[in-house]
Amino acid sequence: MSIIQITNLYKIYDDIKVPVHALNGVDLNIEEGEFTAIVGPSGSGKTTLLNLIGGLDKPTKGEVVIDGTGINTLRSRKLIDFRLHNIGFVFQAYNLIPVLTAIENVAFILQLQGVAKDRRVKRARELLEAVGIGDKADQRPGNLSGGQQQRVAVARALASKPKFILADEPTANLDSTSTSELLDIMQRMNEESKITFLFSTHDKRVMDKARRIITIDDGKVASDENF
């Protein structure tokens, strides 16, 4: 079943002297349970594509439909609510809240959803255990390594039980050991819980784990291969 449907997607940044055509008519379907990498050179449009799928930006033309909902026409408040309940994000820069502990960072999404404190703390603790850092629950991000911070970010992305996870260059700031451990965790969650992961990456280690690789070049799909 297609969880993401992308039709004739264009993104033109025209608020500069020379307009940039970041995406030029992209058509894609992402199926539930995929472990997919979007790859391509810098400036090819892959991060733009992820941002449009995540509702972090709006297309110039075309449509993004997530589990039957066209997100491009949602008003701002409804789009925020839709993202909160349906999409998990993992970023290159971790984007953790520095004054909150690991468990508070993971539980924060559930707090925004209005989940009762005991339930959100329980789920946050379970997720930190699942990503292998249950013993770091009371540590703030500044006391954690890059790999540990990214594990917190993965746990946070999973907290709301989203329909899929968008991961934009999640291994870019990690050493090889942390990268391998993080990818093993995400692959296990994908295989055991059928969680859909969609990566934007330059990292060959991510590509080697992916079961589908979509190559973007000059804002278009250059190739789409399943493994």
According to DSSP, the β-strands at 196-200 and 212-217 are unpaired
pLDDT at 49 over 90: yes
Whether residue 140 contacts residue 99, with contact meaning beta carbons closer than 8 Å, is answered with yes
6: its two tokens: 């992308």
Under CATH, to which class is 35-45+76-226 assigned? alpha beta
Whole-number Å distance between alpha carbons of 49 and 23: 7
Whole-number Å distance between alpha carbons of 66 and 63: 10
Q: Given pLDDT bands bounded at 50, 70 and 90, which one contains residue 16?
A: confident
Hey, how many other C-beta atoms are within 10 angstroms of the C-beta on 7?
15
pTM of the model: 0.94
What are the pLDDT digits (tens) for 56-86? 999 999 999 999 999 999 999 999 999 999 9
What are the pLDDT digits (tens) for 163-201? 999 999 999 999 999 999 999 999 999 999 999 999 999
Taking 3-state DSSP, the helix, strand and coil percentages for the chain, each rounded to the nearest 5, stand at 40, 30, 30
DSSP run (H or E) holding 125: helix 117-130
Domain positions in the chain: 35-45+76-226
Task: Work out the end-to-end distance of the chain between its first and last CA atoms, rounded to an integer number of angstroms.
Answer: 18
Closest-CA residue to 168 (of 224, 94, 227): 94
Whole-number Å distance between alpha carbons of 203 and 201: 5
